[in-house]
Amino acid sequence: MSDKEIMLGNAAIARGAYEAGVKVSSAYPGTPSTEISENIVKYKEIYSEWAPNEAVALETAIGASISGVRALASMKHVGLNVASDPLYSISYIGVNGGLVIVVADDPGLYSSQNEQDTRMIARAANVPVVIPSDSQEAKDFIKLAYELSEEFDTPVIYRTTTRLAHSQTEVVLNDRVEVEDKEYTRNATKNVMMPGNAKARHLVVEQRNKDIAKFGSTSKLNKIEMGDTSIGFITQGIEYQYVKEVFPNASVLKLGLVNPLPKDLIKDFASKVDKLYIFEELEPVIEEQVRAMGIECIGKEIFTIQGEYSANLLRKAVKNELDVKDAAQVVGRPPILCPGCPHRSTFFVLNKLKKHATGDIGCYTLGAVAPLSVIDTTVCMGASLAMLHGMEKAKGKEFIKDWVAVIGDSTFLHTGINSLENMAYNGSTGTVIIMDNSTTGMTGHQDHAATGKTLMGEEVPAISIYKVVEAMNVKNIVEVNAFDIAELERVVKEETARDELSVIIAYAPCALLKGQTFPYRIEVKSDKCKKCGMCLKPGCPAITKNEDGTVKIDASMCNGCGLCSSVCKFDALERVEK
């Protein structure tokens, strides 16, 4: 009898990869996909790694696939943008061993800079898309995705969403299937995408789309559940759960293979229901194709094109079908940097000096909000450096004297290196601050090439960020403890005044990093407090005011970083050893 376990969607995907006989997994951490690799590493039969970025992760998986084994690449939706170059070409080439690319979309923007819909990219790249609706399917459909990949000689995008990735349902576990390696045979006509070869492969891809669409009409990835024929839904993924909750008796076509669409199956289902709704998060990918088939349906005219869907949203939209009950409203909580975060002290100094910053992707993006309010722009990973360079070329050296570019250590290794290379090569005089907290903080403390440890726990030589910068012939490189605000202030003033490119490496480990010890605590001397509020300016959540205007510190939150005591001019906050 098979074991059963309550599993997170991401953990179920990892289990599915294990059961499917995957041998190589490469990923870059990004919410909501991160836990896939953190669970895959538990299965020693799979080689798993953190790559420096998503393009490298996919290229690694492609290499493993072409050599003849089943391979996996995992990323969040904006990571697929980084990996789009290899994606479009491997679509033409196809696979040897099965190749699955897990892409986690983020409807509702819980931890992302946009709500892009991966199905749109997959359509452009001519890559089939498989979507599960719960943890059991998250596991089972991975195995089906590998079968699809190998049967039709194609990479497969396995699309999930935040709700599916981070919800838990019961999963039946099965044994691993040891898939025999495919023999590698040299085939330059298929695998080398020079123009002449690519033209021929494009014809193959178009025929493949037709074959997969026909396959989808009978595939167990797609399922019809006939019920009340007065109302029917075509839906997918986690949205299927909302349909079943609100309309348990409705007829439903649940699509697990959403690109290419099974036209015959859709037409057959539509002909059997009186009123047809298309219920899909984000873009009207299914709806527009259904309408193009000449089928009347209801979709985005009542369902929003933005944000995450829910059962309550469905209830309200289809208001003529049942009574509407408003959902309870959850009180919002603004995001804030953790107590003891080294980024807070860096932003405090920049705020004090009235500097603007081009920002990047990471915890430090919170430097854009009050009370720090330093970051003016955030676009994508690695953009902060190139944007500062662009500002200088547009407005001149004097314009950027009041600007810096900020970027984290993991993000610098992800795509910041190329941007710094561009600054060095093209004569930038800007100042870059690499905020090195010794981890990939925002996604949960994953290691990277500069931490000295791999995903599988192997100790390796750590790449020196200082030496990487030095190798680009940057003459002005300064390392400074992020909590030494006097020295940091001096360095920022000096480096931003230069007429040459400079890099400041502001280092201090993340306060939540495993193994961190905190030898200090802060004592409040209320009799010395002048109620000036200076210690409140950095915005540390551990410090609050008493009714009389003096301050108090929550000992359960404070880790004694000393930022507050260093800005107090009256010695009312004393940093002492525990």
Q: Where are the chain's structural domains?
A: 4-216, 223-317, 342-507, 520-577
Residue with tokens 């990949």: 149
Question: According to the model, what pLDDT value does residue 523 have?
Answer: 86
Query: What is the structure's pLDDT at 309?
Result: 93
Please list the ranges in the chain whose pLDDT falls under 50: 1, 322, 324-325, 327
In this prediction, residue 578 carries a pLDDT of: 78
* Token pair 């093209």 in the structure block, residue: 426
Question: In the prediction, which pLDDT does 325 show?
Answer: 47
* pLDDT value, residue 320: 54
Quick one: pLDDT at residue 432?
96
DSSP assigned state of 527: G
Mean pLDDT of the chain: 92
Domain 520-577 sits in CATH at 3.30.70.20
Q: What is the pLDDT of residue 169?
A: 93
Reported residue count of the chain is 578
User: How far from chain centre, in Å, is Cα 182?
Assistant: 32
pLDDT for res 518: 83
Task: Please tell me the predicted confidence (pLDDT) of residue 328.
Answer: 52
Q: What is the dihedral of CA 410, 411, 413, 419, to 10 degrees?
A: -160
Q: Which element (helix H / strand E) includes 564?
A: helix 563-567
Could you tell me which CATH class the domain 223-317 is placed in? alpha beta
Would you list which residues are annotated within the binding site for [4Fe-4S] cluster?
Answer: 529, 532, 535, 540, 558, 561, 564, 568
Identify residue 424 by its one-letter amino acid code.
A
CA 414, 415, 421 angle in degrees (round to 5)? 130
Number of other CB atoms surrounding residue 518 within 10 Å: 12
Please state, in angstroms and rounded to a whole number, the distance separating the CA atoms of residues 451 and 459. Answer: 9
Rounded to a whole number, what is the distance in angstroms from the first to the last CA of the chain? 54
Q: Confirm if 41 and 456 have CB atoms less than 8 A apart.
A: yes
- Does 3.30.565.10 match the CATH number of domain 4-216? no
What pLDDT is attached to residue 331? 64
What pLDDT sits at residue 447? 86
Asked if residue 231 lies in contact with residue 249, where contact means CB atoms within 8 angstroms, the answer is: no
Q: Which amino acid is at 27?
A: A
CA distance linking residue 446 with residue 51, whole number of Å: 11
Structure tokens, 438: 């010794």
pTM of the full structure: 0.84
Which token pair is 572? 């009312």
Q: What is the pLDDT of residue 1?
A: 43
Cβ-contact 178, 117 below 8 angstroms: no
Residue 114 confidence (pLDDT): 87
Known binding-site residue numbers: 529, 532, 535, 540, 558, 561, 564, 568
Q: Which fold has domain 342-507?
A: Rossmann fold (3.40.50)
> What CA–CA distance (Å, rounded) separates 216 from 283?
21
4-216 and 520-577 in the same fold:
no
Q: How far apart are CA 102 and CA 100, in angstroms?
A: 6
